Chain A
Amino acid sequence: MRMRATLADYKVGDKVILKKVLDNHLTIQLYSMGCILGEEITIERKAPFGDPIIIRVEDSFISLRKDDAQKMEVLLS
Chain B
Amino acid sequence: MGEKTFRIEDELRLILVGNPNSGKSTLFNSLTGLNQRIGNFPGVTVEKKIGFLKINDHIKAEVVDLPGTYSLSPRSEDEQVTFDYLNDNSRNDLPELIVVVVDASNLKRNLLLATQLVDSEQPTILVLNMMDIVERNKQSIDVKKLEEKLGIPVVPINARLSKGIKELKQAIANYKYKKVPKFIENHESKDALENTVHRFNKIKDIVKLTLTKEGESRTAKITRRIDSVFTHPVFGFAIFLLILFLIFQAIFSWSSYPMNWIENGFLVLGNWLSKTLPEGVLNDLLVDGVLAGLGGIIIFVPQIAMLFMFIAILEDTGYLSRVSFLTDALLKRFGLNGRSIIPLLGGAACAVPAIMSARTIANKKERLLTIFVTPLISCSARIPVYTLLIALVIPADKQFLSFNLQGVVMMALYLLGFVAALLTAFVMKYIVKSDERSNFVMELPIYRTPRWTNVGMTILNKTKVFLFEAGKIIIAVSIVLWVLSSYGPGDEMSQIEEKYKTVLADSNADLTAANEQIASEKLEVSYAGHIGKFIEPAIRPLGFDWKIGIAIITSFAAREVFVGTMATLYSVGDEENTASIKEKMNRATHASTGAKVYTKATGYSLLIFYAFALQCMATVAIVVKETGGWKWPIIQLVYMGALAYFSSLLVYQIFV
- Tell me the A residues contacting B by CB distance below 8 Å: 23-34, 36-37, 44-45, 47-49, 51-52, 54, 56, 58-65, 67-68
Q: Write out the residue numbers on chain A whose beta carbons fall within 8 Å of the beta carbon of B446.
A: 59, 61
A65 to B329, CA, bound (A): 9
Residue of B nearest to A49 (CB): B329
A68 vs B332: C-alpha distance when bound (angstroms): 14
Q: Taking A31-B200, A32-B112, A45-B227 as given, write out 19 further A-B residue pairs in contact, using a Cβ cutoff of 8 Å, ordered by the A residue number.
A: A28-B192, A32-B73, A47-B325, A47-B328, A52-B328, A52-B338, A52-B440, A54-B227, A54-B231, A54-B325, A54-B444, A56-B224, A58-B106, A59-B219, A60-B106, A61-B220, A61-B223, A62-B441, A64-B441
Q: Which of B71, B217, B332 contacts A59 (CB 8 A)?
A: B217
Encoded as 1 (CB less than 8 Å from any A CB) or 0, chain B from 318 to 354 comes to 0001001110110010000010000000000000000
6 closest residue pairs by CB, A with B: A34-B109, A32-B70, A61-B444, A32-B71, A29-B441, A31-B196
* Docked-complex contact A34 and B200, CB < 8 angstroms: yes
Question: When the two chains form the complex, which single residue of B109, B217, B326, B338 contacts A33, counting CB atoms closer than 8 Å?
Answer: B109
Contacting residues, chain A, for B219 (C-beta < 8 A):
59
Residue count of chain B within 8 Å CB distance of chain A = 41
* Alpha-carbon gap, A55 to B279, bound state (A): 72
User: Hey, which chain A residues are within 8 Å of B70, CB to CB?
Assistant: 32-33
The residues of B that contact A63 with a CB separation of less than 8 Å are 321, 324-325, 328, 338, 440-444
Minimum C-beta distance from A55 to chain B (A): 10
Chain A's nearest CB lies how many Å from the CB of B196? 5
B329 contacts A36, C-beta separation under 8 Å? no
CA distance A62 to B325 in the complex (A): 10
Q: Which residue of A lies closest to B109 (CB)?
A: A34
Bound together, the chains give a CA A59 to CA B104 distance in angstroms of 11
State in angstroms the CA–CA spacing of A61 and B216 once bound together: 12
- When distances are taken between beta carbons in the complex, the residues of chain B under 8 Å from A54 are 227, 231, 325, 444
**In the assembled complex, B654 has its CB within 8 A of some CB on chain A:** no
Instruction: Considering the complex, give the chain A residue whose CB is closest to the CB of B216.
Output: A59
Given the contacts A31-B196, A52-B338, A62 and B105 also touching, CB distance less than 8 Å = no
B134 to chain A, nearest CB (A): 11
Contacts of A49 in B (CB 8 A): 329
Question: Is the pair B329, A51 in contact by a Cβ cutoff of 8 Å?
Answer: yes
Given the complex of chains A and B, what is the CA–CA distance between A60 and B224 in angstroms? 11
Cβ–Cβ contact B200 & A36, under 8 A = yes
B231 touches A45 (CB 8 A): yes
In the assembly, what is the distance between CA of A64 and CA of B438, in Å? 11
The answer on a CB contact under 8 Å between B197 and A37 is: yes
Give the chain B neighbours of A28 by CB distance below 8 A.
Answer: 73, 75, 192-193
State whether A44 and B227 are in contact (beta carbons under 8 Å apart), knowing that A26-B439, A31-B196 are contacts in the complex.
yes
Question: Bound state CA distance, A64 and B440, in angstroms?
Answer: 5
Expressed in whole angstroms, the Cα–Cα distance for A63 and B325 within the complex equals: 7
Write the chain B residue with the least CB distance to A64. B441
A32, B329: Cβ atoms under 8 Å? no
Cα(A16)–Cα(B416), bound, Å: 44
Q: Which residues of A contact B325 (CB under 8 A)?
A: 47, 52, 54, 63
Determine how close the nearest CB of chain B comes to the CB of A50; give it in whole angstroms. 10
With a cutoff of 8 Å between Cβ atoms, the chain B residues found around residue A29 in the complex are 75, 439, 441
Q: Which residues of A contact B338 (CB under 8 A)?
A: 52, 63
Query: Across the interface, which residues of B come within 8 angstroms of A31, CB to CB?
Result: 71, 193, 196-197, 200
Q: Which of A25, A59, A60 is B437 in contact with, Cβ under 8 Å? A: A25
Query: How far, in whole Å, are A60 and B441 apart by their CA atoms in the complex?
Result: 12
A58 to B442, CA, bound (A): 15
**Which residues of chain A have C-beta atoms less than 8 A from B329's C-beta?**
47-49, 51-52
Name the B residues within 8 Å of A59 (CB-CB).
105-106, 216-217, 219-220, 446
Judged by a CB distance under 8 angstroms, whether B233 is at the interface is yes
Which residue of chain A has the shortest Cβ distance to B193 in the bound complex? Answer: A27
> Quick check: B442 and A62 within 8 Å, CB to CB?
yes
Q: List 15 A-B contacts (CB under 8 A).
A: A31-B71, A31-B193, A32-B70, A34-B106, A34-B112, A58-B108, A59-B220, A61-B223, A61-B444, A62-B442, A63-B321, A63-B324, A63-B325, A63-B442, A68-B441
Give Cα A67–Cα B321 distance, bound, in whole angstroms: 20
Q: Report the minimal beta-carbon distance from B110 to chain A, rounded to whole angstroms.
A: 8
CB distance from A39 to the nearest CB of B (A): 9
Chain A residues whose CB sits within 8 angstroms of the CB of B440 once the complex forms: 52, 63-65, 68
Q: Are A47 and B326 in contact (CB under 8 A)?
A: yes
CA A63 to CA B223, docked complex, whole Å: 14
Please report the C-alpha to C-alpha distance between residue A49 and residue B634 in the assembled complex, in whole angstroms.
39
Min CB gap A75→B, angstroms: 17
**Nearest CB in chain A to that of B207: its residue:** A58
The listed residue (B112, B192, B439, B443) touching A61 by CB distance below 8 A is: B443
Give the docked Cα–Cα distance between A26 and B73 (Å). Answer: 13
Docked pose: A34 CA to B196 CA in angstroms: 9
The 8 Å CB contact of B328, one of A44, A56, A60, A65, is A65
Contact for B441 among A30, A44, A51, CB less than 8 A: A30
A25 to B435, CA, bound (A): 14
Question: Which residues does chain B contribute within 8 Å of A26, judged by CB atoms?
Answer: 439, 441
Given A47-B329, A51-B329, A58-B108, are A67 and B439 also a contact pair (CB < 8 Å)? Answer: yes
Query: Contacts A28-B73, A63-B324 given: A56-B443 contact, CB under 8 Å?
Result: no
Bound Cα distance A34, B70 (Å) = 9
Determine the distance from Cα of A47 to Cα of B108 in the docked complex, in whole angstroms: 28
Contact across chains for B197 and A36 when beta carbons are under 8 A apart: yes
**B416-451 vs A: 1/0 string, CB under 8 Å?**
000000000000000000000101111111100000
Q: Closest A residue to B76 by CB, please name it.
A: A29
Assembled-state Cα–Cα distance A62/B227 (Å): 13
Nearest-neighbour CB distance to chain B for A45, whole angstroms, equals 6
Q: Inside 8 A of A65's CB, which chain B residues have their CB?
A: 328, 332, 439-440
Which residues of chain A are near B324, meaning CB under 8 Å? 63
A24 to chain B: closest residue by CB? B193
Q: Which residues of B contact A62 (CB under 8 A)?
A: 441-444
B347-386 contacts to A (CB < 8 Å): none
A28 and B321 alpha carbons, distance in the complex (Å): 21
Q: Are B197 and A60 in touch, CB under 8 angstroms?
A: no
8 A Cβ contacts from B631-650 to A: none
Within 8 A of A (CB), among B193-223: 193, 196-197, 200, 216-217, 219-220, 223
Contacts of A24 in B (CB 8 A): 193
Contacts of B443 in A (CB 8 A): 33, 60-63
